[in-house]
Each structure stands twice: as structure tokens, then as C-alpha cells.
């Protein structure tokens, strides 16, 4: 067998991204010593209540490389060992504020152990050992952070949901014509969905608070501009925008994007993406800025995935 045939058989030389999942349970407290108790509670809300609170964290480590003769980017046993030694063994069942020196708030460069700050610091600890291309850290199913190695820049995603009905039809068309385009979704009395909405924001992690922006303000914006006005509505009739615009998943995602983009900008972050899941089989994504792939490290952009 020639060398080229051997490489083809094992996929050797081809680029691939692999992912490794790890979990740990830990607690943390949002409390800055330079602030008064009243200011800490005003800024961090229930997250400032002592002695803190805990989460079951889920970490997804993404790595990139070319396949070797064994058909692997990396030996997963070595990956598992590195993540365990450097991350989970040090964080599992720990109080994060005291686990690592980066969270020592008695030091000028110490920051709070927020999801986004924790993702960035995990990256700095794993990068010398693994060919990282991205990290995702779930604090809970409705809140997670992505870090791609871009200095203090990170992404934070908040998931919300609402139940609503809609009918897909263009007013200028007949019922028969609408059914040819939209099928059962054009039936006159409409139908409903339990929508899931993932709202991803981007920004610089504050060196002291560890946050891209005030999480309570973001949550309130989403509640005021999306969840509350959309929940338990007939979109075509109750949301003025959809009286003239067909409420497809794509158009709903675009409208949510338009409603949130400037308000989020005003509180110091950037809306990056809106993902609307209409059902387990259908979803739509709208990018308010450059898609995520365009922001991956240059190594990924220049490697060809066959």
C-alpha cells in the first residue's frame, strides 16, 4: 500500500475539530470588597447573597488539528487527563472565589468568577496543552458563555421561551395559493408553538467584575421586549409588525433582532445572534454582526476541512 493510500485509509492529513465534554459542580459569590453591602446587592442582586450559590457546570472543549496515522487528532485519553488535571480536579466541589488566584479579589487584578471569566481562564490554563479552537461553559441550561481566545472578548447566551400561535399566509394570495406555499401552516385558524429563543451577546469581559455587561439588565430587556410581549399571543393579530409580515421563524428571529439590537448596545454590549427554535425540527438564526465562523482564530480559517 502506498503512503498516499495509507493516508487516505486513515484520513491522515485531513483537518478535523473534536470536542470533549467535562462536568464539575462548584459554588461562587458575586461580591466586590471595594463596594458597600448595599452597592453589592444593588449590582449583583441575589448573586450577592452570602454564602453564595452553586451550579452544575458543563464544559465543552473544542480542539482542531490534522488526523494522524491512527485516525485521531489527539489521543482522547490524554485530552481527558489534561482537562481533569488542569480544570475539573481543581474546581469540582469547590468555592470558585477561593479556587484559583485569578479570583483573589484582594489583588488588583482579581475578578469575580462569572461564567464568561471562568471560560476565559480555563482557556489560558488549557491552551499550552491542547490545540484549542473554542470553549463553551454552561452555568445552567439557559445560560452559557463561549470563548474563542480573543483577548478579553467573549460571548454570553441567554435562553428564554414563549408560547404563541401564528398563521403563515400572504394576504394578497388566495387560500389555495397560500397552501401551495405554506402547506398546513396556512390553515385559517392558525396553530401554535413553544418557541425557544437563544440570544447571544458579545463584549469585553470587565477585568474586575468578570462580566461582559450587567446580566440583570440584559435579562430585563429580554423579558420586556421579547418574552412578555410575545408570550400567549396570536402573532398575526397581537404583534403589529406581523399584521403585514408573515410570521415565519425567520421573520420572527429578524424582528427579535431588530427589537434588541439598540437597547443592548445602550447597556454596553453587542447583540451577536438570535436563534429561534420553532420545533425540534425547525430553527432559524439571524446574525446581528459577523457570523461566529468569521471570528474563529486564523488557524481554523486557513485549514481546509475535506
Q: Tell whether the torsion through CA atoms of 130, 141, 193 and 202 is positive or negative.
A: negative
Quick check: do 1-149 and 151-292 share a fold?
yes
Q: Which of 15, 185, 245, 250 is catalytic?
A: 185
pLDDT tens for 5-56 read 444 455 666 889 999 999 999 999 999 999 999 999 999 999 999 999 999 9
C-alpha cell at 23: 462536568
Percentage of the chain lying above the pLDDT 70 cut: 91
Domain spanning 1-149, CATH architecture: 2-Layer Sandwich (3.30)
User: Does the structure show a pLDDT above 70 at 303?
Assistant: no
Q: Which of 102, 116, 139, 278 is catalytic?
A: 278
Give the whole-angstrom CA distance, residue 237 versus residue 165.
Answer: 10
278 catalytically annotated:
yes
Give the whole-angstrom CA distance, residue 168 versus residue 165.
Answer: 10
Cα 212 → chain centroid: 13
pTM here is 0.88
Mean pLDDT for the stretch of residues 125-132 = 97
CA angle 86, 91, 92 (to 5 degrees): 115
pLDDT tens for 143-197 read 999 999 999 999 999 999 999 999 999 999 999 999 999 999 999 999 999 999 9
CA angle 138, 162, 140 (to 5 degrees): 15
Q: Which of 23, 66, 232, 289 is catalytic?
A: 232
Give the whole-angstrom CA distance, residue 238 versus residue 242.
Answer: 8
58 catalytically annotated:
no
Domains of the chain by residue range: 1-149, 151-292
232 catalytically annotated:
yes
Homologous superfamily assigned to 151-292: 6-pyruvoyl tetrahydropterin synthase/QueD (3.30.479.10)
204, containing H or E segment: strand 191-204
Amino acid at each position: 500500500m502506498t503512503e498516499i493510500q495509507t493516508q487516505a485509509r486513515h484520513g491522515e492529513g485531513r483537518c478535523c475539530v473534536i470536542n470533549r465534554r467535562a462536568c464539575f459542580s462548584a459554588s461562587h459569590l458575586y461580591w466586590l470588597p471595594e463596594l458597600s453591602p448595599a452597592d453589592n446587592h444593588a449590582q449583583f442582586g441575589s448573586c450577592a447573597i452570602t454564602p453564595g450559590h452553586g451550579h452544575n457546570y458543563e464544559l465543552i472543549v473544542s480542539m482542531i488539528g490534522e488526523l494522524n496515522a491512527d485516525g485521531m487528532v489527539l489521543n482522547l485519553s490524554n485530552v481527558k487527563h489534561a482537562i481533569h488535571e488542569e480544570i475539573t480536579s481543581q474546581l469540582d466541589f469547590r468555592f470558585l472565589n477561593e479556587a484559583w488566584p485569578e479570583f483573589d479579589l484582594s489583588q488588583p487584578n482579581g475578578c469575580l468568577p462569572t461564567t464568561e471569566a471562568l471560560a476565559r481562564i480555563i482557556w489560558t490554563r488549557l491552551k499550552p496543552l491542547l490545540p484549542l479552537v473554542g470553549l463553551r461553559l454552561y452555568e445552567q441550561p439557559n445560560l452559557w458563555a463561549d470563548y474563542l481566545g480573543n483577548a478579553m472578548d467573549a460571548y454570553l447566551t441567554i435562553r428564554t421561551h414563549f408560547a404563541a400561535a401564528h398563521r403563515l399566509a400572504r394576504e394578497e394570495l388566495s387560500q389555495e395559493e397560500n397552501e401551495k406555499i405554506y402547506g398546513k401552516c396556512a390553515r385559517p385558524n392558525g396553530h401554535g408553538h413553544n418557541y425557544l429563543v437563544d440570544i447571544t451577546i458579545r463584549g469585553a469581559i470587565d477585568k474586575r467584575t468578570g462580566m461582559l455587561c450587567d446580566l440583570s439588565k440584559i435579562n430585563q430587556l429580554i423579558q420586556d421586549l421579547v418574552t412578555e410581549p410575545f408570550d400567549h399571543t396570536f402573532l398575526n393579530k397581537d404583534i403589529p409588525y406581523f399584521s403585514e409580515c408573515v410570521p415565519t421563524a425567520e421573520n420572527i428571529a429578524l424582528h427579535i433582532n431588530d427589537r434588541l439590537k439598540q437597547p443592548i448596545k445602550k447597556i454596553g454590549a453587542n447583540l451577536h445572534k438570535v436563534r429561534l427554535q420553532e420545533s425540534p425540527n425547525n430553527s432559524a438564526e439571524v446574525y446581528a454582526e459577523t457570523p461566529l465562523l468569521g471570528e474563529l482564530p486564523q488557524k481554523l480559517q486557513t485549514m481546509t476541512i475535506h
